[in-house]
């Protein structure tokens, strides 16, 4: 089948009536022109992948060239696999640079990253298939690389330490601080449940930013390099993500637990002085859940 924008537009039109044929044709043409040597996925297969993403994002939010490359690698196209491998190989040392890694760590992260994203268990899709195309593929790969590096550092070199010192957090919990008294109080269950419900509703990238900043302890500068954005932009996005998270918590506490605005305000004021530490504790508790 010819890899043309028109063929893609026709296939996408059969799955989504919300996208104009002209916009779909431009999207397909841009994707195929960026990687003319990639033969898979064909327009019908690519349209299927794009249609899945249109359930959550408008076509204008997707990056055609990067999404086509990722889908090509998922489909096993040899040209796409080579191009993706080169992208990952060049991206890993750059995003890890601020961590001052050893050459051995960079090499292992590179190997594990490509294995994790491309190799799949029987009956399952490669992890790379989860790339939504709403940001650059390089930034998405960078996030995955840093998480692998953090995991390796913890497992191999600092087995008794965590980037956010859980021991000091537990000491604070025992120390009578008001914001942590809240997490130990009768409100603990409902507050944590509200946090969980609000957190999962955040966009994937916002969840990644908060996890890496608050739980893994990455700096604004490190996050800027990872996501390929200016440090000021990273700081603003983290701020907005926190605001959205707290607003989500407020909504759940009000709607599900029938707490009054005064009760909610009182509880949130208790954690406000040390908001980052409070949220990091909740993230750590969240990750321990079975």
Confidence of residue 261 (pLDDT cuts 50, 70, 90): confident
**Does the structure show a pLDDT above 50 at 98?**
yes
Q: How many CB atoms lie within 10 A of CB 167?
A: 10
Best-predicted range by mean pLDDT (72-76, 142-146, 172-176): 72-76
**Does the structure show a pLDDT above 90 at 22?**
no
> Would you give the DSSP letter of residue 132?
-
According to the model, what pLDDT value does residue 189 have?
73
More confident: 59 or 163: 59
Q: How many CB atoms lie within 10 A of CB 67?
A: 21
Q: Which of 92-101, 153-162, 222-231 has the lowest mean pLDDT?
A: 153-162
Confidence of residue 19 (pLDDT cuts 50, 70, 90): confident
Q: Whose CA is closest to 251, among 183, 198, 287? A: 198
More confident: 189 or 51: 51
According to the model, what pLDDT value does residue 78 have?
92
**Does the structure show a pLDDT above 80 at 149?**
yes
C-alpha dihedral over 136, 219, 193, 199, to 10 degrees? -20
According to the model, what pLDDT value does residue 123 have?
63
């Amino acid at each position: 089948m010819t890899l043309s924008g028109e063929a893609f537009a026709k296939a996408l039109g059969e799955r989504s009536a919300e996208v104009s044929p002209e916009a779909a044709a431009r999207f397909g043409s841009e994707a195929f022109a960026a990687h003319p040597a990639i033969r898979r996925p064909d327009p019908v297969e690519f349209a299927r992948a794009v249609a899945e993403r249109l359930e959550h994002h408008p076509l204008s939010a997707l990056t055609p060239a990067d999404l086509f490359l990722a889908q090509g690698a998922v489909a096993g196209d040899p040209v796409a696999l080579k191009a993706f491998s080169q992208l990952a190989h060049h991206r890993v040392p750059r995003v890890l640079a601020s961590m001052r890694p050893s050459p051995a760590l960079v090499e292992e992260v590179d190997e594990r990253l490509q294995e994790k994203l491309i190799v799949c268990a029987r009956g399952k899709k490669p992890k790379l298939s989860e790339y939504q195309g709403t940001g650059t593929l390089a930034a998405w790969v960078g996030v995955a690389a840093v998480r692998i590096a953090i995991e390796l550092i913890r497992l191999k070199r600092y087995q008794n330490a965590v980037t956010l010192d859980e021991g000091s957090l537990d000491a604070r919990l025992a120390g009578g601080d008001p914001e942590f008294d809240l997490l130990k109080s009768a409100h603990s269950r409902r507050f944590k449940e509200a946090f969980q419900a609000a957190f999962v509703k955040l966009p994937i990238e916002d969840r990644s930013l908060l996890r890496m900043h608050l739980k893994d302890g990455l700096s604004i500068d490190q996050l800027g390099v990872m996501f390929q954005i200016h440090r000021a932009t990273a700081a603003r996005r983290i701020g907005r993500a926190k605001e959205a998270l707290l607003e989500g918590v407020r909504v759940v506490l009000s709607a599900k637990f029938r707490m009054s605005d005064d009760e909610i305000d009182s509880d949130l004021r208790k954690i406000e002085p040390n908001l980052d530490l409070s949220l990091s504790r909740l993230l750590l508790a969240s990750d321990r859940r079975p």
